[in-house]
Amino acid sequence: MAETPQPTPGTGPRDRTVAVAGAAGDLGGRIVRALLDRGAEVRMLVGAGADPARTAETARLGATPVPVDWADRKSVADALTGTDVVVSAWNGLRDVIVDRQSALVDAAVEAGVRRFIPSDYCLDWTRTRLGDNRNIDLRREFAGRADRAPIATTSVLVGAFTDLLTGPMPILQPRLRRVLYWVDADQPLDFTTRDDTAAVTAEIALREADQPRFVRFVGDTLTARDLARVSGEIAGVPYRLSSLGGVRTLSGMIAAARLFDRDSDAVFPAWQGMQYIRDMFTGRGTLQHRDNAHLAVEPTDVATFLRSWEAAGT
């Protein structure tokens, strides 16, 4: 995988047409909005399984729904004809991330599309270890397929979504006034909001064709100790740090949780979340450099995100 050093600035032609797969999803809807805000024409690729209410909601933003049959390459290639870039925001396991995305790339090549942005939007999978994180490994496997195809591919890497801090990620515990951590309270952790991720993706999609293989953007990097301080300042009461153990404890918890979840085909079971936590707290998934300086998107730091969350009373 050849990597050029940084994204090439460009005005981004206003008449660019972008096709989005997974547009009815959470991040996909935000990417559609970010593309439309930047003047792009957006096609939503709508397969049989797409949620009709979410599809209609995203279409109302101004995107054009285009029905496709994912099993029929010609139907997908026809839907992509005339588009400059294909963005995937799919979630799923092998059947989606490897198989369906590979079929999408093949159809994009057939339709003469210039660039593909896969559904990565995660920590730096070029540095994590094979076998440590199932969902990351699927993205790495897909990258092997995409990099053999005659189309430019750009992965957007952002660390963890900041939004998860106030959701399923167990690190921040506002009711207990605690920040939980594993391994090291001083390990830097990368966070980027979903909206910033969507904005960066839209910016890259609308730039000149010649972009690097990876674009790394981070909203904020802070340690568990920093997070306790910031959360305490926002709440006006101190937050305490609580260690839940080292990497062996974390790996043991992952193995035990997997035992009870052997038959599940859930995309994001608890043990999968813990695999991400392990990649974060060991520093293996940390972004070593970032392209923020070459992007127009203003990063949202964790304190700003948490203040808005508090103000919204959610």
Ligand X SMILES: NC(=O)c1ccc[n+]([C@@H]2O[C@H](COP(=O)([O-])OP(=O)(O)OC[C@H]3O[C@@H](n4cnc5c(N)ncnc54)[C@H](OP(=O)(O)O)[C@@H]3O)[C@@H](O)[C@H]2O)c1
Q: Is 273 among the residues that bind ligand X (CB under 6 A)?
A: no
Q: Is 126 among the residues that bind ligand X (CB under 6 A)?
A: no
Q: Is 50 among the residues that bind ligand X (CB under 6 A)?
A: yes
With contacts defined by CB under 6 A, name the span among 32-40, 42-50, 79-87, 229-237 that binds ligand X: 42-50
Residue, CB closest to ligand X:
25
User: 70 vs 239, which CB is nearer to ligand X?
Assistant: 70
Radius of gyration for the alpha carbons in the chain, expressed in angstroms and rounded = 20
Q: What is the dihedral of CA 209, 85, 64, 72, to 10 degrees?
A: 160
Task: Spell out the SS3 assignment of the chain.
Answer: CCCCCCCCCCCCCCCCEEEEECCCCHHHHHHHHHHHHCCCEEEEEECCCCCHHHHHHHHCCCCEEEECCCCCHHHHHHHHCCCCEEEECCCCCHHHHHHHHHHHHHHHHHHCCCEEECCCCECCCCCCCCCCCHHHHHHHHHHHHHCCCCCEECEEECCEEHHHHHCCCCCEEHHHCEEEECCCCCCCEEEECHHHHHHHHHHHHCCCCCCCCEEECCCEEECHHHHHHHHHHHHCCCCEEEECCCHHHHHHHHHHHHHCCCCCCCCCCHHHHHHHHHHHHCCCCCCCCCCHHHCCCCCCCHHHHHHHHHHCCC
Nearest-approach distance from CB 199 to ligand X, in angstroms: 14
Alpha carbon of 163 to those of 18, 26, 169, 310: distances in Å?
A: 26, 12, 9, 12
Site residue total, ligand X (CB under 6 A): 23
Q: Is 275 among the residues that bind ligand X (CB under 6 A)?
A: no
Q: Is 21 among the residues that bind ligand X (CB under 6 A)?
A: yes
Q: Are 127 and 286 in contact (CB under 8 A)?
A: yes
Name residue, tokens 């966070």.
191
User: 61 vs 233, which CB is nearer to ligand X?
Assistant: 61
Q: Is 119 among the residues that bind ligand X (CB under 6 A)?
A: yes
Tokens encoding 99: 């198989």
With contacts defined by CB under 6 A, name the span among 33-41, 83-91, 227-235, 280-288 that binds ligand X: 83-91
CA angle, corner 68, sides to 114 and 110, nearest 5?
30
Q: Is 31 among the residues that bind ligand X (CB under 6 A)?
A: no
Name residue, tokens 């990497």.
247
Q: Is 90 among the residues that bind ligand X (CB under 6 A)?
A: yes
Nearest-approach distance from CB 249 to ligand X, in angstroms: 22
Task: Using CB under 6 A, pick the residue from 142, 161, 181, 271 that binds ligand X.
Answer: 161
Task: Using CB under 6 A, pick the residue from 113, 122, 143, 215 that binds ligand X.
Answer: 122
Nearest-approach distance from CB 169 to ligand X, in angstroms: 8
Nearest-approach distance from CB 279 to ligand X, in angstroms: 11
Q: Is 302 among the residues that bind ligand X (CB under 6 A)?
A: no
Q: Is 107 among the residues that bind ligand X (CB under 6 A)?
A: no
Task: Using CB under 6 A, pick the residue from 18, 63, 79, 89 that binds ligand X.
Answer: 89
With contacts defined by CB under 6 A, name the span among 25-33, 171-179, 230-238, 254-262 that binds ligand X: 25-33
User: 123 vs 295, which CB is nearer to ligand X?
Assistant: 123
Task: Using CB under 6 A, pick the residue from 164, 222, 270, 303 that binds ligand X.
Answer: 164
User: 197 vs 223, which CB is nearer to ligand X?
Assistant: 197
Q: Please give the residue ranges that form the binding site for ligand X (CB under 6 A).
A: 21-22, 24-28, 47, 49-50, 89-92, 96, 119, 121-122, 158, 160-161, 164, 267
